Each structure stands twice: as structure tokens, then as C-alpha cells.
Structure 1
């Protein structure tokens, strides 16, 4: 059984480049993958299918790809870490060093 940690919760949206930090939709605040709370809800295929239908896509953290159809989701969810959403950091480009 998966631990009741943020990383295994349907409400946790990991950062696209730093997946150990993210945002909790249930608590509406930043979260760490090892965090815990009373609102924990295990990620399930049904929850991911609901997010896929609602948002038009879910994200595979393992592969770094957006999943847009049910069969692709079923294949990835067997052995990969798939999440309902991810956090994009629009300021990350400003922090990157330029190459001259």
C-alpha cells in the first residue's frame, strides 16, 4: 500500500522541474512530496480518468510527457507516476543562465 504522503495524493500537483515540491489543491498552498494531511486522497485510475476528461490531459512524471487519451493513461499508470496536474514556473527562464 502506498504511503499517505502528498506524492501519492490526487490533490498534489508537482513542479514540472522539481517534482518533490508542488501545490496542494485541497489546502490551496505549496506542499512537499513527503508532507501529510487529513485531506489525503490516494491517486487512482478513476481519479486520473476524471482529470483527463475534465482537463484534456494528465502528466507522466516518469516520462515527462502529457497524456491525452485513456489507453495511453492506462499504459503509463501501470508502472509510472502519473499526476492530474503539474505546476509551471513561469519565472524559471529568468533564473537560468544564458549561454553566450
Structure 2
């Protein structure tokens, strides 16, 4: 199924990529830190990803549809200790597309 909105066939992505998009669609547009995305991947979809593995999945050199997701560093005041966190948020225009193609 190819969407007329983005031209993306999400069913051709890797299982890890699809899992991340499903977690973000399940969040209904809420921004989630990477640690929360990985927890939900494990609990809801049985996908285990380390921080490094998740970074590899969403890297610019992969087919991960970055245009569909806001990925931003969390505000410095919200960061625990020396750990830097990134938030992931599926853009509202793509929530239904992800659900239709991947659920």
C-alpha cells in the first residue's frame, strides 16, 4: 500500500523501524523519550533495542521515514545527570497513515 500523502510504503521497512513507528502512533502524537520508546517496544511488541541499536535504526543512512517524525534533544533542564535524551514524536499528519499500514 503506497500512501498518496508521503509516497511511503511502510510495510517494506524493517521490523524494528515498523515497531518504532507503531509505538509513536500508539502515543497519539505525544512526544516520547527514547528510553520510553524502547520500553514500549519491549513490552508492547516484544522488540528489544539498546540505545545504540535504536540510533542505528533511525540513522539518516537508513530508510527510516525521518520526515514523519520530530526528533529533538530534550531541553537541558529536563536532562537527568549527564545522560542526554532525545524525544520522538510522530507528526499528527502521519498517525492515521502508520495505523492503516502497520496495525
TM norm structure 2: 0.30
Larger relative helix fraction: 2
Over alpha carbons, which structure has the higher Rg?
1
TM norm structure 1: 0.31
